[in-house]
Amino acid sequence: MRLRTKLLLLLVLCYVSFNGHCIVNSIDPCINHCCIGAGQPFGLFTVIYADGSPNFVGRYDANGRGIYDKSSLTHSCDFTRIVQGTVGNNSLSASPSSIDLLSPPSSGTITGQGMWATNGMPRVDYFQSNGYFIGSVSATSAASDGTWIVAPQPDLSSVYSGFYQLKVTYPTEEGFYINEVGSASIDCWNRDNPDSDGDGWNDVDDCYPYDASRWYCNQGGGCEYQTYREEMPCYEY
């Protein structure tokens, strides 16, 4: 079939396919992630291959649809079974809740409820307020009634001043950290995000971190600053 004929055929098929459909243009997370059927909304789960690995951890969305990422393109989304975790939105308290980054304490205590150590010590995950992961630590001791845990501080040497979220999970019988307890927040201080030229824009957000007269990448051409996020150069139009 000649190219021109193919294209015309395609055109007709396009028209037949789309005509009359009102497609709401929204992102379906299942396009770029693996998805499974119903589960408890917002709960964590893990899917397990027949050989026991890898164990993909995902989360159910508001509609109870499970979304997860596989760790390697050599694997498909297929799995042999699902283990569902419990959902916990408890408000926990961290102590200390304010941390001097120049002399951080070696450990901290988190109090609340439901921090069970039956299948192993609970884990504390640290996140920036915008969701970036900082590090995880395992509790070193826990109350038998689940009301407190003590855990070492993660490496905070590259952390800047600001609020951080701590999320506590405890393991299932098989050791998957998908039972969520809740979260606490801490206020870290004494190491501000550098603003080398003092123009009010942190270096990481400043196209010209050493030129106080410019910060936006369209102020005089391209963006000098590409050391931190090389994937985000300045695209000017």
Partner 1 sequence: MKPEKPLRISRLIYSGLIFLSLAVVGTAIWRTSARQTKSAGIPQEVGKERFYQQLRKGVGSEIRFAGARSSRAEIKNSVDSVANFIYQRSSLNMGDETRQQFESAEQSVLSGRRARLSLDQLSDTFVEIMVDRLANLSDDEAEKAINTFRATPNGEVTSRASAKWGFMTRGELTKQVAAARQWSQRGDQSLKVVLRQMMTEEVRERVTYLSAALPEQFGRINAEGVTPLQALLIGYSVVTDDPLSDSQEDLNAQMAQQRMLAYRTREQAGYSGKAYGPNGDLFSTPAQLFFDKAAVHKLLESAEGGQK
The residue (of 129 and 140) whose beta carbon lies closer to partner 1 is: 129
Determine, following the binding rule CB under 8 A, whether residue 52 of this chain makes contact with partner 1. Answer: no
In this structure, the strands spanning 148-152 and 107-111 are antiparallel
Least distance from C-beta 131 to partner 1, angstroms?
3
Euclidean distance between CA atoms 56 and 66, whole angstroms: 11
Which residues, numbered 181-210, are part of the site for partner 1 (CB under 8 A)?
none
193 phi and psi angles, rounded to 5 deg? -60, 125
Determine, following the binding rule CB under 8 A, whether residue 167 of this chain makes contact with partner 1. Answer: yes
Least distance from C-beta 148 to partner 1, angstroms?
24
Q: For residue 5, what is the enclosing H or E element?
A: helix 3-18
| HEC string for 182-194 | EEEEEEEECCCCC
The residue (of 42 and 143) whose beta carbon lies closer to partner 1 is: 42
Which residues, numbered 81-140, are part of the site for partner 1 (CB under 8 A)?
81, 125, 127-134
Residues 6+ apart with CB under 8 A from 176: 46, 55, 57, 83, 85
152 forms bridges with which residues in the sheet? 107
The residue (of 65 and 104) whose beta carbon lies closer to partner 1 is: 65
Residues that bind partner 1 (CB under 8 A): 3-4, 6-11, 13-15, 17-18, 21-28, 30-37, 47, 57-59, 63-65, 67, 69-70, 73, 76-81, 125, 127-134, 167, 216-219, 228-232, 234-237
